[in-house]
Structure 1
């Protein structure tokens, strides 16, 4: 690199791919441009050099370069969701900016726009851009963070501007846990054709896609167990795809009771190994949107308005916790990526378990005489101390 006069100002030049190119221009005097050149050369020596021109790529241009490679490592459902976030929320609002123009202030303003939405001034009461939920905003920011991280790794910019963004707090949706009586009411309200599916969901904690994607070859009715190896997903274009479970530990074996086995038995008669266990009354795969229409009517009939299908999974976890099943076993049964996930979702239920433990201990101690117990403890303590006192005494005599 070298400096040279360029009209009334100075610039820094270099040879790239056999051609002379301008690295930076517009410096007012020779002293300032020489200081800048020294800094750039020092960065080269340390391996920290960032070509100032690289940051002039727009966010939209960088997305076009980055997305194809990033998408190859995603599941089809993630390609759909993340691609939608890019098209709907990142490129339209930030795509015109260059990479080096995107700083923390810009990102914070972008997050605010996503949260507050954009009213349609020509149509009062309507939205040009609807406000997004805290979860969606955080997902959009996470995708932008990955995009800018790749720009840092590609030496387009020096630091990731997404690091210090203040994000909206997540407000967890209220979980519903069915009692055994409520589960019975629901079972009665559900039409006979759908009872085996609902029973399996509430008694195993399977995710919706894992249940409706279950094939005969992965179900052992006589052994009372099934193997989760895939899940069915509905794409935005209406197509159905079968992919791997949500997490690596989602691939698992789940047991079920004889009652569930009895409900599933009629569904396996005269079916090929690759056939789906659950189908509609017309023999088609079960779609969540269509099933939900009936679900809303059934939960209302059971007096359980607002109950979501996913709450059946929560119910299974709550039942296990109430029986003091370890979180590690629950995490394995539900296919969580780690026990930390299970604790994060259901940890607030543990105080109830502790209360149950205390109650059991209290009942066990009911017939014990407190005075006799105190005397026994004292005797045990003295008995433990005597050998120690003897050893200490012997040591003192030896020293003397």
Structure 2
């Protein structure tokens, strides 16, 4: 049986919880016993014990995309996966995305306060891969349902309510285990590429940078290596200056 525990962190004007869980019902009961009212919690990070560090390698991601391309009964899935990997948006945010909040000219997706956990309006930039996925969605819309307001929709223009089953099937066919979300992969790739934690936090729109720090900092050991190399450079510079000073005194 999975163990459960609830961590509640308080920051100025923000309360968020990192919930380690085996099932949401268990989390809810635990929260009630702990007198934590989830309606008052601004940010909830759900982390499954034993899977907190699971993210896809580039090879696994490529295999997942190839598998999704073969899902002819779910033509939206491959574009959804590409957007997920390249924007770090939440699953529900993508499913609820409307075309009026997509600006291909400026390369941005806009979120109103009601769309975000932190209640603040914001935007997410689009790289070439994400923009290409949106253009494919736009072509699908033009062909089948030009009046639909939804980015992720079916041929009738109705919003796709869930990608859970299709995603799980693609993951299984790609031979990947223990992956239920690609937001973690996006953040992990950014940190491993050397992007600062505060940039990753801003892109993922975490309400508190400590959430980002807790989840991703361990993936940036090279940054620490660079930091300690500065000590060697400082020591070498100091030694050079000492020798220069000695020479001046001779």
TM-score (norm 1): 0.45
Question: How do 1:1-400 residues align onto structure 2 when only pairs under 5 Å count?
Answer: 133=26, 135-142=27-34, 144=35, 171=49, 173-190=51-68, 191=71, 192-229=75-112, 243-249=114-120, 251-268=121-138, 270=142, 271=146, 275-288=149-162, 291-308=163-180, 310=181, 312-351=182-221, 353-355=223-225, 357=226, 377-381=238-242
Rounded Cα–Cα distance in structure 2 between residues aligned with 1:172 and 1:335: 25
Preserved CA contact (<8 Å) 2:191 2:217: no
What is the CA RMSD across the aligned residues, in angstroms?
3.6
Question: Could you say if the C-alpha distance between residues 136 and 265 of structure 1 is closer, same or farther in structure 2, counting changes exceeding 3 Å?
Answer: same
More RCO (CA 8 Å, sep 6+):
2
Q: Which is greater in Rg?
A: 1
Deviation track 1:233-268 (CA, whole Å, cap 9, x = no partner) reads xxxxxxxxxx4311135x321112223212211323
Scaled by the length of structure 2, what TM-score is found? Answer: 0.69
What is the DSSP-based 3-state SS (H/G/I as helix, E as strand, rest coil) of the residue aligned with 1:248? coil
| Distance of 2:99 and 2:106 partners within structure 1 | 13
Secondary structure at the counterpart of residue 220 of structure 2: helix
Secondary structure at 2:106's aligned position in 1? coil
* Unmatched segments (≥5 aa) in structure 1: 1-114, 116-129, 147-169, 231-242, 390-400
User: Are the counterparts in 1 of residues 67 and 170 from structure 2 also a CA contact under 8 Å?
Assistant: yes
Q: Give, in angstroms, the shift of residue 282 of structure 1.
A: 4.1
Contact 2:191–2:197, Cα closer than 8 Å, also in 1 = yes
Contact 2:150 2:158 in 1 (8 A): no
**In the superposition, relative to structure 1, how do residues 254 and 276 fare at CA in structure 2: closer, same or farther (>3 Å)?**
same
